[in-house]
A and B are shown apart, each in its own frame.
Chain A
Amino acid sequence: MKTQHIKKTMMILIVSVSSVLLWQSCTQQEQSRTYSDLTSEVTGEVIAELTDAPFVPARITAKHNTKVIVHLEVIEQPMRLADGVEYTFWTFGGKVPGKFIRVRQGDQVEFHLHNHPDNMLPHNIDLHAVTGPGGGAEASLVAPGKSAQFSFRALNQGLYVYHCATAPVGMHIANGMYGLILVEPLEGLPAVDHEFYVMQSEFYTSGGFGQKGHQEFDMQKALDERPDYVVMNGAVGASAGENAMKVKVGESVRLYLGNGGPNLVSSFHVIGEIFDKVYVEGGTLINRDVQTTLIPAGGSAIAEFTCEVPGTLHLVDHSIFRAFNKGALAQIKVVGDENHQVFTGKEKEEVYLPEGSAIQRISSGKQAAASSEPIPEKSLNERLEAGAILYKQNCMACHMDHGGGIPGTFPTLVNSDFLKARADKGIGIILEGLQGEITVNGSNYNNIMPAVALNDDQVASILTYVFNRFENGGGHIKAAEVAEWRNKK
């Protein structure tokens, strides 16, 4: 009995010792293979597949070092930041965040940065995945209409941010110049059902959150780190609602997460999921069963989970006002059958009435009815005050803050002979729009102003403001006049 026991222990010992040895030699071999592999010859050549968020290029199947050619084009262009809100973004590839780049450790990357000829500014690229001066920035500074080329070897695996590093760096990043590059480990990442790309960032706009029209970059807000927008994938709702990422119940998901900043650190969280696995900061350290993971500005993380139940998952920055008031929200829609083992859904709903409280009804309809009741006429001062705000929201985008417009495109409202000569005091221009050839203070315009949907009270306030503040001879336009004009039509 006893000898047998000893024998057994010995056996286990021998097996485990030898397996430790074996394992050690394995890792040693792995390491030396890694090293030689990284410096060994490159075979074959491919043009990198690049994708816009939330999509990710296909997994790399090659088992050798490859020459990967990347063509990335910088494009400056106005695009949607939120509904009715436009912003001139500076982009790597036409969207914010920039194109997702995927290579394998050991690959030789030949990078071509193209600066579109219509752009205003020089740009460059600093890839955090590059070992070399400035991450490629020095080698890639390129003027509008030109291209730059440089090469690097992807030595370290991981998920890396890239960004523009042209002076003033903060402004280039604040305008949208960042993206992610994944360097897959030699053995590749384990297969999952879906991979998505989500990158958080902030925007600092001249008008507050939701203010309509074209917004300018606000330097002071950027310095104060007071963003108006914190968004996932470059715009409010870019990957939510209709544009939500879609998966099926039971499928596994890997998220490549980045934070372009320029200032804020993200407390990344998925409402309704627990991360089974997080590659902390996009590196090789793995943490498990994580609720919220930190993504530094200019940093990343990889998160994995499996979707067990149907529903909508909300991807948020858990600095939660950013999610609900500034736009930091993306969604994954999980479709399929309920799994009551995991989540039961709502089992029962009942009214909760703390002691002593009376039943409260949420009034509905009343509000809407009230607004159709006539609004009392405002005083001149009230009109000017309301008009100042309404002007900013509805007219400033084209006629500019100062009313001077943009020569050749949007006519001036300042001391406008055209406006002053109109019998309708401009009411018709706002309600019906204006197009065709006109002459304002000696300059010709032939453009289109769309009709602006405002009520009588609002039109009266805006015009009163325009007549008084932009040297058009003053006056007080009443809502009743606007109503009269409307009824005459």
Chain B
Amino acid sequence: MKRIVTSAIFFLLLGCCDLQAQHPGMKTIPAGTYKPLMKTVADEITVGSFLLDEKPVTNAQFKAFTDARAEWSPTRVKALFADNQYLQHWDSSGAWTDEIDLMPVVYVSWFAAKAYCSWLGKRLPTLDEWEYAAAGKPEPGQNISSTETLILNWYSRMSGENHLSGSIYRNEYGLWDMHGLVWEWVYDFNRVVSNDDSRNSEEIPSGLFCGSASLNSAGASDYASFIRYAFRGSITGNYTMRRLGFRCAQSVQQ
């Protein structure tokens, strides 16, 4: 915690705001540590400072990309890079509204997400970066009792991708909708694809054990996160899904 605070101050001194001004729509995430779900790796993981999109990428933003790079348009994309549902919500019979423009883009593959980010000189966040940023507490005054109830309610509400990107909640880093809107691709999503049966993998039982131990202190948060890890374990790079979108990151020049 102390480290987070000091690094945040460090950043303020160095003029984080200038940096942000150069990167509209992105937030500077200060360096710090977070406790990974799978504690076999390490008790704490240190994440350096980086920039992250404030909101998940929208349909309008992604449209600009496919217009510019025709090889990523729904009709031209290679099957290797995206399954046949790629951007299928774009040609649904209903009219394209301003609202759709502002909703998160979904039915995008990892390859397409990665290409979009690099088109803008950005990249996908790593799993550690994403998890660290997503662990940021909700900003006060939004009537959110805790991140974990927000996540569990999202699972049971079963909607989100039909909301505007940037409409659910904002966290302490100024990031919108890290939970509760859509699942998001990360660069190394399949890093923890240890095993498809969540009970007998080498990593998960100890993860489970630690998870349940920390349940006593941290409530249901680990349970809510477990689902995210299981989700990542079930996908491959060319998959596209109704509730899976992404946002981009960028490294900070040292």
The reply to whether A401 and B145 contact each other, CB–CB distance below 8 Å, is yes
Please report which residues of chain B, range 230-247, place their CB below 8 angstroms from some CB of chain A when the two chains form the complex. 230-231, 233-235, 239-243
The reply to whether B234 and A145 contact each other, CB–CB distance below 8 Å, is no
Selected from B167, B200, B234, B241, the residue in CB contact (under 8 A) with A407 is: B167
Least CB separation from A404: chain B residue: B143
Least CB separation from B141: chain A residue: A414
Is A214's beta carbon under 8 Å from chain B?
yes
Selected from B163, B195, B242, the residue in CB contact (under 8 A) with A145 is: B242
Q: Closest CB-CB distance, A246 to chain B, in whole Å?
A: 35
Which chain A positions have C-beta within 8 A of B235? 122, 143
0/1 per residue, B182-199, Cβ < 8 Å to A? 000000000000011111
Is B229's beta carbon under 8 Å from chain A?
yes
Please report which residues of chain A, range 404-429, place their CB below 8 angstroms from some CB of chain B when the two chains form the complex. 404, 406-408, 412, 414
Q: Can you list 16 residue pairs at the A/B interface with Cβ under 8 Å?
A: A77-B158, A88-B158, A117-B241, A120-B158, A121-B227, A137-B197, A141-B196, A141-B234, A143-B234, A143-B241, A167-B204, A171-B227, A214-B156, A223-B215, A402-B143, A403-B143
Taking A139-B196, A141-B233 as contacts, is the C-beta distance between A117 and B155 under 8 angstroms? no
Give the CA-CA distance A134 to B240 in the complex, in Å. 27
Q: Tell which of A87, A137, A219, A412 has the most Cβ of chain B within 10 Å.
A: A219
The reply to whether B163 and A407 contact each other, CB–CB distance below 8 Å, is yes
Which chain A positions have C-beta within 8 A of B155? 88, 120-121, 217
The reply to whether B219 and A220 contact each other, CB–CB distance below 8 Å, is yes
Is A169's beta carbon under 8 Å from chain B?
yes
Give the CA-CA distance A144 to B243 in the complex, in Å. 9
The reply to whether B239 and A146 contact each other, CB–CB distance below 8 Å, is yes
Is A456's beta carbon under 8 Å from chain B?
no
Q: Closest CB-CB distance, B251 to chain A, in whole Å?
A: 30
- Write the residues of chain A forming the contact surface with B, with a CB cutoff of 8 angstroms: 76-78, 87-88, 117-122, 124, 126, 133-134, 137-146, 165-169, 171, 214, 216-217, 219-220, 223, 400-404, 406-408, 412, 414
0/1 per residue, B84-113, Cβ < 8 Å to A? 010000000000000000000000000000
Please report which residues of chain B, range 205-254, place their CB below 8 angstroms from some CB of chain A when the two chains form the complex. 208, 211-212, 215, 219-220, 223, 226-227, 229-231, 233-235, 239-243
Taking A167-B227, A223-B215 as contacts, is the C-beta distance between A134 and B199 under 8 angstroms? yes
Q: Closest CB-CB distance, A221 to chain B, in whole Å?
A: 11
Q: Tell which of B168, B204, B223, B226 has the most Cβ of chain A within 10 Å.
A: B223
The reply to whether A167 and B226 contact each other, CB–CB distance below 8 Å, is yes
The reply to whether A169 and B242 contact each other, CB–CB distance below 8 Å, is no
Selected from B142, B158, B227, B231, the residue in CB contact (under 8 A) with A143 is: B231
Q: Closest CB-CB distance, A260 to chain B, in whole Å?
A: 17
Taking A120-B243, A134-B200, A165-B199 as contacts, is the C-beta distance between A219 and B227 under 8 angstroms? no
The reply to whether A145 and B156 contact each other, CB–CB distance below 8 Å, is no
Least CB separation from A133: chain B residue: B197
Which chain A positions have C-beta within 8 A of B233? 122, 141
Q: Tell which of A119, A134, A139, A141 has the most Cβ of chain B within 10 Å.
A: A141
Which chain A positions have C-beta within 8 A of B154? 120
Which chain A positions have C-beta within 8 A of B230? 121-122, 166-168
The reply to whether B156 and A88 contact each other, CB–CB distance below 8 Å, is yes
Is B144's beta carbon under 8 Å from chain A?
yes
Least CB separation from B167: chain A residue: A407
Further contacts, 8 of them, CB under 8 A, given A121-B155, A124-B196:
A118-B158, A120-B158, A166-B198, A167-B229, A168-B226, A217-B156, A402-B145, A407-B167
Is B61's beta carbon under 8 Å from chain A?
no
Is B157's beta carbon under 8 Å from chain A?
yes
Give the CA-CA distance A119 to B230 in the complex, in Å. 14
Selected from A139, A216, A412, the residue in CB contact (under 8 A) with B156 is: A216
Taking A137-B197, A138-B197, A165-B197 as contacts, is the C-beta distance between A117 and B242 under 8 angstroms? yes
Q: Closest CB-CB distance, B52 to chain A, in whole Å?
A: 22
Taking A117-B241, A143-B241, A407-B168 as contacts, is the C-beta distance between A134 and B158 under 8 angstroms? no
Is B153's beta carbon under 8 Å from chain A?
yes
Please report the number of residue pairs spanning A and B whose Cβ atoms sit closer than 8 angstroms. Answer: 127
Least CB separation from A412: chain B residue: B143
Is B127's beta carbon under 8 Å from chain A?
no
Is B115's beta carbon under 8 Å from chain A?
no
Is B164's beta carbon under 8 Å from chain A?
yes
The reply to whether B197 and A134 contact each other, CB–CB distance below 8 Å, is yes
Q: Closest CB-CB distance, B132 to chain A, in whole Å?
A: 21
The reply to whether B197 and A124 contact each other, CB–CB distance below 8 Å, is yes
Give the CA-CA distance A223 to B215 in the complex, in Å. 9
The reply to whether B198 and A219 contact each other, CB–CB distance below 8 Å, is no
The reply to whether A408 and B223 contact each other, CB–CB distance below 8 Å, is no
Least CB separation from A76: chain B residue: B158
Q: Closest CB-CB distance, B99 to chain A, in whole Å?
A: 9
Least CB separation from A407: chain B residue: B167
The reply to whether A165 and B198 contact each other, CB–CB distance below 8 Å, is yes
Give the CA-CA distance A189 to B240 in the complex, in Å. 46
Which chain B positions have C-beta within 8 A of A139? 196
Q: Closest CB-CB distance, B43 to chain A, in whole Å?
A: 20
Give the CA-CA distance A118 to B157 in the complex, in Å. 12
Taking A76-B158, A166-B230 as contacts, is the C-beta distance between A217 and B152 under 8 angstroms? yes
Q: Tell which of A122, A124, A401, A404 has the most Cβ of chain B within 10 Å.
A: A122
Which chain B positions have C-beta within 8 A of A220? 219-220
Give the CA-CA distance A124 to B153 in the complex, in Å. 22
The reply to whether B197 and A219 contact each other, CB–CB distance below 8 Å, is no
Least CB separation from B149: chain A residue: A216
Give the CA-CA distance A214 to B155 in the complex, in Å. 13
Q: Tell which of A87, A126, A169 has the most Cβ of chain B within 10 Å.
A: A169
Least CB separation from A134: chain B residue: B197
Q: Tell which of B142, B199, B239 has the most Cβ of chain A within 10 Å.
A: B199
Q: Closest CB-CB distance, A135 to chain B, in whole Å?
A: 9
Q: Closest CB-CB distance, B242 to chain A, in whole Å?
A: 5
Q: Closest CB-CB distance, A193 to chain B, in whole Å?
A: 41
Least CB separation from B159: chain A residue: A409
Which chain A positions have C-beta within 8 A of B197? 124, 126, 133-134, 137-138, 141, 165
Q: Closest CB-CB distance, A351 to chain B, in whole Å?
A: 52
Which chain B positions have C-beta within 8 A of A169? 198-199
The reply to whether B163 and A142 contact each other, CB–CB distance below 8 Å, is no
Which chain A positions have C-beta within 8 A of B199? 134, 137, 165, 167, 169
Q: Closest CB-CB distance, A65 to chain B, in whole Å?
A: 27
Which chain B positions have C-beta within 8 A of A118? 158, 242
Least CB separation from A164: chain B residue: B198
Give the CA-CA distance A169 to B200 in the complex, in Å. 12
Which chain B positions have C-beta within 8 A of A117? 85, 241-242
Which chain B positions have C-beta within 8 A of A165? 197-199
Please report which residues of chain B, range 130-148, place their CB below 8 angstroms from some CB of chain A when the two chains form the complex. 142-145
Which chain A positions have C-beta within 8 A of B157? 88, 406
